[in-house]
Structure 1
Amino acid sequence: MTELVIFDLDGTLLDTIHDLGNSVNYALQKNGFPLHDIETYRYFVGNGITKLIERSLPDDQKNVEIIQRVRQDFMIHYIPHSEDLTRPYQGIPEVLYTLQQKGIQLAVASNKVQLATERVVNHFFPSVHFAAVLGQREGFPVKPDPSILLSIMEQTAVSKVNTLYVGDSGVDVLTAKHAGLSFVGVLWGFRPQSELEALGAVSFVHTPGEILHYIK
């Protein structure tokens, strides 16, 4: 019986790509580096902010000092602009409310920094009670390390067999595998179905409402 559903955030609950891309482009421009089309960022996101910045930089500029400087400029811009163009995917709020009404615990597990994760979740889902909202925190590994999922299950006192993880990327597939969880891949997110299938995903949904079919 499903007692807990853990959601990835970017590309699963929220379409954040424009605000992320705009903030990286701001930081790149400030530091004199070439910019990228917003669509390109779909393939840069997923492994945390530091990796996002690294992927956006020219190959000969990927040293620690430059990455940290551009990352800092990104954060200065992104936090106050993280809600400018970001929106929940159509149908997501209704699914969250339905799960909540069924008494199922909800949680968020993101590689977005903790401050930004909490900010956008609180802003876009003020009426949804999440048992846990975890982002990237200092001293904790990012997904696909399963620590974030294991921590949520510990906080909620729900076993693996009663937990479902929902995400949109290969990183999410691997995170679920490493945690020993059932996984459902969403096809409205940032990565193609082929990427998820290549890593072993077998269950997919085309619309948020279809997630309810996987609630046991």
Structure 2
Amino acid sequence: MKQLVIFDLDGTLLNTIADLAAAANHALAALGLPVRSQTECQSFVGNGVGKLLERALPEGYKTPEYMAKIRPAFFEYYDKHLADNTRPYTGMAELLSSLQKRGIKLAVASNKYQSATERLVKYFFPEIHFTAVLGQREGIPVKPDPTIVNDILFAAGCTREDVLYVGDSDVDMQTAKNAGVRVCGVLWGFRTREVLAGYQPDYLTENPQEILDMVM
């Protein structure tokens, strides 16, 4: 029985792409640069805000100078609007509640910056107790580096054999492999079945309730 389930946030627990795209486009427009489609932005996310913005910038503008300008414009907007159109994926709140009732420890491991990660988890899942809610933190490498998983394992007092990691992206599949934990790829998020299957996850699912069977 897996005693700890670690969830990615964006594309796994929450559909955040509309608000991320709006913030990125607000920042691009503030610099007089062309905006991106939501589909484009969806392909840019997964490696943290810095990479999202670098990928969103046009060729020829991916410079330290433009990065220094676009980051504050993004954060100013996103901090005010991070929950405007963001919603939990269908069945995720029920899944978390069921896992919690069964005594399974829960955690979040995200490449979203720490303050936004904490705010979104608290806002959308107020009844759920998470052993750890970790996002991108200063001086800590982002996923797919396994540090975030190792930090959660320490906080939870669990071994790698106790863990199921749940995520929607290639970054998540790599993170779990690098951390030496079992992984479930979810198919309602920001990447395709083909992308996830290429990493040979232990499980692939289209139904959140199937995750209950993976931890029993």
The TM-score normalised by the length of structure 1 is: 0.98
Give the alignment of 1:120-199 within 5 angstroms: 120-199=120-199
**What corresponds to 2:61 in structure 1?**
61
Deviation, structure 1 residue 68 = 2.3
**What corresponds to 2:70 in structure 1?**
70
**What corresponds to 1:17 in structure 2?**
17
Question: Which amino acid is 2:145 matched to?
Answer: D
Deviation, structure 1 residue 201 = 2.2
**What corresponds to 2:87 in structure 1?**
87
The 2-side partners of 1:199 and 1:91 are apart by: 25
Deviation, structure 1 residue 202 = 4.4
Greater displacement, 195-204 / 145-154: 195-204
The 2-side partners of 1:4 and 1:149 are apart by: 11
Aligned residue for 2:209, secondary structure, equals helix
Q: Identity of aligned pairs, percent?
A: 50
Question: Which amino acid is 1:116 matched to?
Answer: A
The TM-score normalised by the length of structure 2 is: 0.98
Deviation, structure 1 residue 72 = 1.1
Question: Which amino acid is 2:190 matched to?
Answer: F
The alignment of Structure 1 onto Structure 2 pairs a total of residues equal to 216
Question: Which amino acid is 2:200 matched to?
Answer: G
The 2-side partners of 1:211 and 1:63 are apart by: 42
Question: Which amino acid is 1:28 matched to?
Answer: L
Question: Which amino acid is 1:159 matched to?
Answer: T
Runs ≥4 in structure 1, deviation > 4 angstroms? none
Aligned residue for 1:140, secondary structure, equals coil
The 2-side partners of 1:89 and 1:167 are apart by: 13
Question: Which amino acid is 2:172 matched to?
Answer: D
Deviations 1:136-182 (A, max 9, x none): 00000000000000100011110000110000000000000000000
The 2-side partners of 1:202 and 1:176 are apart by: 10
Question: Which amino acid is 1:184 matched to?
Answer: C
Aligned residue for 2:115, secondary structure, equals helix
Query: Unaligned 5+ residue runs, structure 2?
Result: none
The 2-side partners of 1:79 and 1:102 are apart by: 34
Question: Which amino acid is 1:156 matched to?
Answer: A
The 2-side partners of 1:188 and 1:125 are apart by: 19
**What corresponds to 1:52 in structure 2?**
52
What is the CA RMSD across the aligned residues, in angstroms? 0.8
**What corresponds to 2:211 in structure 1?**
211
Greater displacement, 32-41 / 125-134: 32-41
Deviations 1:35-61 (A, max 9, x none): 011121110000000000000001111
Deviation, structure 1 residue 108 = 0.1
The 2-side partners of 1:207 and 1:65 are apart by: 44
Deviation, structure 1 residue 213 = 1.7
Aligned residue for 2:165, secondary structure, equals strand
Aligned residue for 1:98, secondary structure, equals helix
Question: Which amino acid is 1:18 matched to?
Answer: A
